[in-house]
Chain A
């Protein structure tokens, strides 16, 4: 059983469209991180959310932490080809260990 479930697994859209990807857990977590990983590179941190109901914006990206702190979403407005990549959510488990979800592979076609 995965600690974190991400959906959809794959998403292919046209430039200019909006999209939302999801990260869900059966357990309450204290904080959650979103990373983006481009081909041939390591993941890069986008945001950390810590408060239930929290919303953070990073240019065209909007991150939301569910009120019950068991789910999170990432919404991208007017997607661009440069947004293409693997979007990973991760939570801190024991010590400083990060446990990652399986990721959503996003492709934005020009």
Chain B
């Protein structure tokens, strides 16, 4: 079974530029998550989709970050304009719809390392 795919793996941009990341979740997984992981910290949830609807975007800085999952499959996360403090690894994860009694395991992609100079 193919895992979560992300691209690009690395991106270097200057502050005030824009950038977009792409994620293709595991086939059949209804729920998709975007996390931000700053160096030396644990991942922090930015946004969660179930199919093509947003479930939780309470920690997404909406003045500069946006995300979409138009067809309920792959997703893009955009930052515009980028700031120095946005330098981090952006992780995408997916999980199937949770059935009663089932684990809530999330499957993570390898991430995109963003450097803002």
Contacts and interface: CB of A to CB of B under 8 A. Distances in A.
A42 B56 contact: no
A74 interface: no
Interface string B94-116: 01001000011110111100000
Which secondary structure characterizes the binding site on chain B?
Answer: loop
Nearest to A98: B106
B91 A42 contact: yes
Contacts of B111: 40-42
B1 to A, nearest CB: 14
A80 interface: no
Contacts of A40: 110-111
A43 B56 contact: no
Interface stretch (A11-19, A61-69, A100-108): A100-108
Nearest to A42: B108
Contacts of B108: 41-44
A45 B105 contact: yes
Interface in A71-96: 88, 90, 92, 94-96
B56 A98 contact: no
Nearest to B109: A42
B41 A42 contact: no
Interface in B51-93: 55-56, 91, 93
A33 B106 CA distance: 11
Interface string A31-59: 00100000011111100100000000000
Contacts of A88: 42-43
B13 interface: no
A47 B64 CA distance: 35
Contacts of B40: 102
A48 B105 contact: yes
Contact of A96 (B42, B43, B48, B109): B48
Interface of B: 4, 31, 40-45, 48, 55-56, 91, 93, 95, 98, 103-106, 108-111
Interface of A: 33, 40-45, 48, 88, 90, 92, 94-103
